[in-house]
Amino acid sequence: METVVHNPGLDGVVVGESAICQIDETRGSLRYRGYAIEDLAEQATFEEVSFLLLHGDLPSSCDLQEWQAELTYAGSLPTVVGQFLQTVPSSAPLMDVLRTGVSFLGMIDTEAQDVSHEANLRKATRLLAQMPLLLSWAVRTRYDHPVLKVPATKSFAQSLLYLLTGDLRESHAKELEVSLNLYAEHELNASTFAARVTASTLADLYGAVTAAIATLKGPLHGGANEGVAEMFYAIREPEEAQGWIHAKLRGKERVMGFGHRVLKHEDPRSAIIKRRAKALSQQADETRWYEIAEIIERTMKEEKGLLPNLDFYTAVVYQLIGIPKQAFTPIFVTSRMSGWCAHIIEQQDHNRLIRPRASYIGHPAREFLYIGDR
């Protein structure tokens, strides 16, 4: 009888091929379509990175102008979506608003059921451009702030920052852009795998993205950056950080923002965002959050041998540029939309239904008894 290897959580199991993202666990490296994340994160715009993920290559100057024009043209919400959003209670979780908003957009898109490569690219472009608007509406109405209009001739990152906070500072937009580039793609994480499983049934792109958002909402996947911010708020002062973490560890409680299922040694994205967080803290003359973060990082390494992941120092950056805590994970959605759609398109371009097996651990064969004999 053939031996069945059981890998809980599919650890180390290769389930397919992809040309989108390469993670080297041994070297702790990450590449989008061959390009090192260290080069893309700070030197490329988010428009360049999203084009790379969706189209396969970095854009030429002409390509980039056309891509920016496409995103600008697609950057509006149909009137009926605005009417729908008016019915959403302000207390609704932002991730639920995005999930349901994407599903609603799928109901009214006449191309929704077309799973051809060209149609999927057009839908991906529209969704990428519409996510900042959905997120802005959800955030601004929650705090009774007026919903802002997309600023003219601004970058994706600057527009997103403005729509969320009313801030147009290029320096803050750059910090947000670096984080968008870092969050854009990460191989077969839980939400991307959920999207590919859904897409493999030949469900439409909106359905696959809805599945991805629902998956990302889980605190073990996308909610870590919000959890890190809550931890910072609870600690408040650097001198309290070490004792606070020791108490959590004694209580065997989870400390958010540490460890990674694939990158066991070091997350290369963390080093990039940590450097940005330190420089930004010094420029803003507000070093408290960074100091708390460094103490937590040092304590976790000494006590548990764990290193921070991308979410940890991103929480410092987002606090310093004025992003509301509830928007941290939804910004992840806005960025990862490019990666999700790239995977959905790749899946449907070379499709095979994803159907794994389970190792049965239930009762052996049993005889059926009629109701009166049980």
pLDDT per position as a tens digit, 70-119: 999 999 999 999 898 889 988 899 999 999 999 999 999 999 999 999 99
Distance CA 151, CA 133 (A): 12
Please write the tens of the pLDDT for every residue from 161-184. 999 999 999 999 999 999 999 999
Domain match, 242 and 142 both: no
Burial class of residue 313 in the structure, from the number of CB atoms within 10 Å of its CB (0-12 exposed, 13-18 middle, 19+ buried): buried
When divided into structural domains, the chain yields a total of: 2
Strand order in the sheet with 35-36: 21-24, 29-32, 35-36
Domain match, 214 and 257 both: no
Q: How far apart are the first and last CA of the chain?
A: 34
> Whole-number mean pLDDT of the chain?
93
Mean pLDDT to the nearest integer, 349-361: 93
Residue 31: strand, helix, or coil: strand
Whether the Cβ atoms of residue 245 and residue 300 lie closer than 8 Å to each other: yes
- Predicted TM-score (pTM) of the model is 0.94
Beta bridge partners of 35: 32
Domain match, 178 and 261 both: no
Mean pLDDT to the nearest integer, 279-308: 95
Domain match, 249 and 332 both: no
10 in a structural domain: no
Please write the tens of the pLDDT for every residue from 28-46. 799 999 999 999 999 999 9
Q: Which residue is associated with the tokens 């997350």?
A: 267
pLDDT at 206: 98
What is the CB neighbour count within 10 angstroms for residue 354?
A: 15
67 in a structural domain: yes
Please write the tens of the pLDDT for every residue from 326-338. 999 999 999 999 9
Annotation says 265 is catalytic: no
Domain match, 198 and 333 both: yes
Q: Which element (helix H / strand E) includes 257?
A: none
pLDDT at 267: 87
181 in a structural domain: yes
Beta bridge partners of 31: 22, 36
Domain match, 197 and 249 both: no
Distance CA 29, CA 38 (A): 9
367 in a structural domain: no
Residue 141's pLDDT band, with cuts at 50, 70 and 90, is confident
Burial class of residue 368 in the structure, from the number of CB atoms within 10 Å of its CB (0-12 exposed, 13-18 middle, 19+ buried): exposed
Quote the domain boundaries for residue 87. 19-218+326-349
List Cβ neighbours of 365 (8 Å cut-off, separation of 6 or more).
none
Domain match, 23 and 148 both: yes
32 in a structural domain: yes
pLDDT at 5: 66
Distance CA 227, CA 223 (A): 6
pLDDT at 7: 76
CATH at 247: 1.10.230.10
Domain match, 63 and 174 both: yes
C-alpha closest to that of 4 among 353, 365, 358, 355:
358
Q: Which of 109, 260, 267, 343 is catalytic?
A: 260
- What are the b/e assignments for 155-192, b being 16+ CB within 10 Å? bbbbbbbbbbbebeeeebbbbbbbbbbbbbbbebbbbb
Concatenated DSSP letters of 59-78: --HHHHHHHHHHHHHH----
Annotation says 117 is catalytic: no
Q: Which of 109, 204, 267, 311 is catalytic?
A: 311
Domain match, 72 and 90 both: yes
